[in-house]
Amino acid sequence: MCGRFTITRRDGNMLAAELGVDADSFVDYRPRYNVAPTQMHYVVRVKFENREVLPARWGLVNTWAKDASTAAKNINARAETVDTRPTFREAFINRRCVVPADGFFEWTGPKKARQPTWFHREDNQLILFAGLYESWRPKPDQWETTFTILTTDANALTRQYHDRMPVILADRDADDWMDPRAPDPLALKKLLVPAPADLLIATPVSPDVNDVDNDSPDLLKSGGQMSLILPS
């Protein structure tokens, strides 16, 4: 699955350049070392043949929803059933996106002493999760964009920690995935496969990751300590 992830670029201009989007796409950007479900992040979609960034909350809420009570249950969508489940079916056909990140976490050990491991590229390049987005109205005059991350079978590396992993798209495949004019969205399911086992490395990191309120560079150091509490 994918329950936490990171995006540690120093500034929004750097991130925009890597993603091929307008330089002002990340005006309020700050590095994140422990993005958790229902928190705000960003998704990238294709509009009029150009990539566009949208602020979005993690946990897909359907347009028809009366509240966000299902958001935490919809942080992930299984690649195998994304085209048939009512929650995700329409977004799969019409609203595919990528979620920019540079790593994600999985855990091992007992519940009272869980050890987080950070999966990331050794060259520190971005990873693009395949995602879906949807908008709903928390208030009559307010729209909010939400998203989910697709998961697939774990590869040889991540299988040691979990039987699922996020779908990671190569940049050349990301535009095909996001193309809203794709003539046969079902054909895009061929992209929803495990990443090559040598794409990522696994780094044990601070147990402080376990607390969703912790968000600092020290989390990515073994034995690091909490140094920043996110506002509620």
Q: For residue range 27-61, list pLDDT tens digits in order.
A: 889 999 999 999 999 999 999 999 999 999 999 99
For 106-119, what is each residue's pLDDT tens digit? Answer: 999 998 889 999 99
The residues annotated with a catalytic role in the active site are 2, 106
Task: Assign 2 a pLDDT band (cuts: 50, 70, 90).
Answer: very high
Residue boundaries of the structural domains of the chain: 5-220
Question: Residue 20 corresponds to which tokens in the numbers above?
Answer: 């091929």
The DSSP bridge partners found for residue 133 are 147
Separation CA 70–CA 38 (nearest Å) = 10
| pLDDT above 70 coverage of the chain, percent | 96
Distance, CA of 198 to chain centre:
20
Question: Which run of H or of E encompasses 33?
Answer: strand 32-35
Which CATH number is correct for 5-220, 3.90.1680.10, 2.60.40.4070, 3.40.50.720, 3.60.20.10?
3.90.1680.10
Beta-bridge partner residues of 35? 5
Model confidence, pTM: 0.94
pLDDT at residue 223 greater than cutoff 90: no
DSSP 194: P
What residue type is assigned to position 229 of the chain?
Answer: I
Task: For residue 149, give the 3-state DSSP assignment.
Answer: strand
Q: Tell me the mean pLDDT in the region 208-224.
A: 88
Task: Tell me how far apart the 2 most distant CA atoms of the chain are, in Å.
Answer: 50
By C-alpha distance, which of 55, 60, 53, 54 is closest to 38? 60
